[in-house]
Amino acid sequence: MNKINLTEKFGLFEEHWTPKIIGELNGQQVKLAKVKGEFIWHNHEGEDELFYIMKGTLKMEFRDKTVVLNEGEMIIVPKGVDHRPIAKEEVWILLFEPKNTKHTGEVESELTVKNLDWI
């Protein structure tokens, strides 16, 4: 039951598109990610997913619209909804989602990381 300093945690990794787990509660996990470039289209069959922008600007593409998220803004992507995050410059994100959420959904791509690390 120790405190978690987010700036410190973000300093522990550099890889893009590779979320790191920093906490777990009620079957959900809190993760940090650094992203840059275009991710792949995917959805999560059974899991809603929260993105909170800690730094930078993230464009979240949906099939019918695009939402631009700046620092201090969040969005909840409901289960089953196709989405694709795009970051022109590096973006730091805090994620909340159920423990077993696969970050590329059911899509297997070169970006898929099977076992996420705790930091």
Instruction: Print the binding letters for residues 49-88 with its own copies: x by CB under 8 A, - otherwise.
Output: xx-----------x----xxx--xxxxxxx--x-------
50: which residues sit within 8 A by CB, 6+ positions away? 74, 75, 76, 77, 95, 96, 97
Of 96, 103, 104, 105, which one interacts with its own copies (CB under 8 A)? 96
Dihedral sign from CA coordinates of 8, 13, 19, 23 = negative
Of 16, 38, 84, 98, which one interacts with its own copies (CB under 8 A)? 98
Question: What one-character DSSP code corresponds to residue 64?
Answer: S
Of 11, 12, 15, 24, which one interacts with its own copies (CB under 8 A)? 24
φ, ψ at 117 (rounded to 5°): -90, 150
Footprint of its own copies on this chain (CB under 8 A)? Answer: 1-7, 23-26, 28, 30, 47-50, 62, 67-69, 72-78, 81, 96-98
